[in-house]
Structures are given as structure tokens and as C-alpha cells.
Structure 1
Amino acid sequence: MSDSADAIFAALRPVVAGIAATFGSACEVVLHDYRDEEHSVVAVAGDVTGRRAGDAMSQIGLRVLAAGDEATNEVNYLTRTADGRTLKCSTLPLRDGHGVLIGALCINVDVTVLHRAAAILTDLAGTAAAAAPLGATNFSGDLDQVVSALVEEAEAARGMPVAAMDKHDRLEVVRALHDAGVFALRGAPGRVSTRLGISRAALYNDLAAIRENG
């Protein structure tokens, strides 16, 4: 499997640069090798999210990793960066010769200016409609920060920090992390229990309850 995967990544490196050059400075292309979760980014062309080779995956990558061999192409979805820019993205899972998920090719295009122009035009035309708020994606390149961002989203949804939650609310936070694919990471229990301020035993109990209840 390793030889097949290495050949795929070697073949895609020039493709990364070619796609980014085709679409210009608003485009970034990122190649991920999921065999190294902490440093999955192996090639980057363009500078939209600020990531570099050696960085970790984002929440989007976690979702693909958790889907495993069932992962499918996600094309032209919108997300928002921490500084409020709007990105149009496509995430294409990569598989080796045996069909095993090994990584992903991600294309991110900054469409902030286009969205602002479209909003002005629809407002002038009198056809403006309220748009659903976009979720934000953490592109920090550090898995601990990505996990922390997901915990903060869950805390914000419940209006309190994990330290102030009862067991039921904490269980919902763990469920949100589970649904986001965090536990597909190697070493996730230690990382998550530290962030939540609970023992690994308590976390395992929470995960068992989630799996039992579906």
C-alpha cells in the first residue's frame, strides 16, 4: 500500500501547483497525506488559508478521515475563515490501488469579493434574501487548535463552558466531537479528555453511552 500511495502523492504534487496557477491568487490547493495526521499537509500552492507543508488537517479533513473508505467528493461548498472571509471549497478523497483512503486534494477559492458584489447587486435589484450564516472552519494547521475550536463551538451552542456543564450537557459536547470525526484521530481520547478537563475513563463512558443510544 505504501508504494502505491507514495506514487499517487508524487504524481499529484505538480497537479497542485498547476491548478493553483490556473485559477490565480484567489485559489489555494492543498494535498493531504492522512498517514501522518499531525502533519497531513504535504504540498500547498497558493495562500488563502495560510497553511504550509507540515501542517495538520482542518475540521473538514477530520470529517473525511472519519468517513474512511466511505468518503465521497464534496464539491463547491461554502465555509468561512476565522477572519470572516468566504471560501468556496472542494474536497476530493484520495485512495490507493486497493481503494483505501490515504488523503485528500482540497481546492479553496476566496470568493469574499464576489459575494459582496452579489449582495450589492441583489440589494439594488430588490431581490435580496436573508442568507443562512456560514459555519467557520479552523485552518490553523494545529490539531489541538482544531479540536479546541470544535469544543468552543459546542460550548457556544450551549452558552456555557464545559467546566460548568452537567453530565448531560457534556455528553452533548462529546457527541458533537464524535459527529465531527475527532475520534478518528489516533490519540484522540487523550487529546479530548485534556481539553474537556475530564479523565479518560469518563470520556470512554461518554463515548459508550453515545454508541449505545445511537
Structure 2
Amino acid sequence: MGEASVEAERDAVIAALVPVIEGIAATFGPVCEVVLHDYRRPEESVVALAGSVTGRAVGGAMSEIGMRIVARGEEAADELNYVTRTSTGQTVKSSTMVLRDSTGAVFGAVCVNLDVTALTGAHTLLEALAGTARPATELPVTTFGNDIDSVVEVILDDHHPKQDRAWAALDREARLELFRSLDERGVFAVRRSVEQVAARLGISRASAYSYLSQARAATDATPGATDTTGGHA
């Protein structure tokens, strides 16, 4: 199948799913948001939206979850029924289903987000009344933003506490591990991210590309390593 045919196929799938996401959101009501992503343009991947839970908008960027999926490339898989918190404190149960074309390449995703904050609160109250309450588990915070640069910034901020020394004080292995970790989270799957990371670390763009290349080479050389480098969708 030629590239033009594949692109037409992807366009047809996206178009066919627009009414589907409307139907899913209508079924679950106001606590539900369904987002249709086209990863061929990661900085503006939200092509259709039904409901409002995470503050997304058509034309907005992918979340860090989408970045991770793009980075995994053909190794990406559906992520179902995971629970996270938004930056505003909402508890959200989500599922992300990847879209593949007939060649097997991932080019988008349908994400269903349910605001279960009220249900979680009611569940905690009932457990307390019944005397069966358990220690609360800290939920990971997922970054949802319409600007891809802000999503990358939050991921970089998340790495900052783990890096208790300045870049100049890190040895080579620590520097490679930093780039390896950022790569696994999909930071380098979007344009301009290398420049953004370089600026935050206070290094040149050439140095950032060099460390990224070395980190990927080290990962590929590890026996049994899974390729998570992906590429631009």
C-alpha cells in the first residue's frame, strides 16, 4: 500500500470515529470526556473532543501519556483503566486505545476520561463508616495541557527532585540515565523538545543530541532491551 493510500486510510478512520466519541460521552454523561488524537501532528493532536474533564480543546497537544505512546512506536499498547490525578486535584479513571493503520503503525488514539472524584470520596466515606478504611494511596499526577511545551516542562520538573546535583556535577552515566529516562517518557517524540531540555540543563543543543544518541545506543545494546525510542508520528 502506497503512502498516499495509508494517509487516506488514516484520515477515514479519524473521520469515522468523530461520531463514535460523541456517542460514548453521551452515554456516560457529564463526568465523561472522550478525546480523539491524531499523532501525526503531536503538537496539535486533539482533532475531536466530546465532554469536558481535563480542560482539553480541539487543536490542543497530546498529554504525557500520548507522548509515551508515540515514543514506543509499534510497541505501543492500549492502556486501560488507569487512575491518576489532574493538576487541579480531580481523580480521573482513563483508558487509552491506540489506533493502527493496515500496516500496523500507530497514528492516533481514543482516550476516555471519567471524573470519579465524587465516587472516590463516597467510597472513602463508606469505608470509614464501615470501619474498613485503608491507608490512602498517592495517585500519580498526569499532565493534560493544550500546549505541548507545558507538558514537557512538567516532565522535566518531575525529574528535577531526582537530580539532586547540577548538570556539571553529574557523571557520564547519570547524564545518560537522565536522557534515557526522558526518552522513555516520550519527551523527545515531539519537535523542539531537545532544544527545550538543553535550555533547562544549560547545555548546547549539540551536547543534548549527543547524549540522547548515546543513551539510545546504550539502550539498544542492552540484551533484551525494548525499543522505546519511537519517532515523530
Alpha-carbon separation, structure 1, partners of 2:123 and 2:157? 31
Amino acid at match of 2:197: V
Alpha-carbon separation, structure 1, partners of 2:76 and 2:217? 24
Which residue of 1 is the match for residue 170 of structure 2? 167
**Which sits farther off after the overlay, 99-108 or 181-190?**
181-190
Amino acid at match of 1:117: A
Change (3 A) 1:44 1:148: same
Amino acid at match of 1:167: L
Matched, 1:103 2:108: yes
Secondary structure, counterpart of 1:84 in structure 2: coil
Q: State the Cα distance separating 1:135 from its structure 2 match.
A: 1.1
Matched, 1:70 2:87: no
Secondary structure, counterpart of 2:30 in structure 1: coil
Which residue of 1 is the match for residue 120 of structure 2? 115
Q: State the Cα distance separating 1:204 from its structure 2 match.
A: 2.5
Question: CA-atom RMSD, angstroms?
Answer: 1.8
**Which sits farther off after the overlay, 103-112 or 197-206?**
197-206
Alpha-carbon separation, structure 2, partners of 1:6 and 1:44? 16
**Between the two proteins, what is the percent identity of the paired residues?**
50
Change (3 A) 1:80 1:129: same
Secondary structure, counterpart of 2:125 in structure 1: helix
Higher relative contact order (CA 8 A, sep 6+): 2
Match of 1:6 among 5, 8, 11: 11
CA contact (8 A) 1:27 1:46 kept: yes
Kindly provide the CA deviation profile for residues 133-188 of structure 1, in whole angstroms up to 9, marking residues without a partner as x: 1111111111110010001111133457xx57622455544333112011222343
Trace 1:53-92 onto structure 2 (pairs within 5 A).
53-92=58-97
Alpha-carbon separation, structure 2, partners of 1:121 and 1:202? 55
Secondary structure, counterpart of 2:60 in structure 1: coil
Alpha-carbon separation, structure 2, partners of 1:22 and 1:147? 33
Kindly provide the CA deviation profile for residues 24-76 of structure 1, in whole angstroms up to 9, marking residues without a partner as x: 00000000001111100000000101111100001000111111112111111
Match of 1:38 among 43, 56, 62: 43
CA contact (8 A) 2:43 2:190 kept: no
Q: TM-score, normalised by structure 2?
A: 0.84
Match of 1:205 among 195, 206, 210: 210
What are the ranges of 5 or more consecutive residues in structure 1 without an aligned counterpart? none
Secondary structure, counterpart of 2:141 in structure 1: coil
- Structure 1 stretches (4+) deviating beyond 6 angstroms? none
Which residue of 1 is the match for residue 138 of structure 2? 133
Alpha-carbon separation, structure 2, partners of 1:34 and 1:154? 25
Matched, 1:189 2:194: yes
Q: TM-score, normalised by structure 1?
A: 0.91
Q: State the Cα distance separating 1:84 from its structure 2 match.
A: 0.8
Change (3 A) 1:30 1:88: same
Count of residue correspondences: 212
Secondary structure, counterpart of 2:48 in structure 1: strand
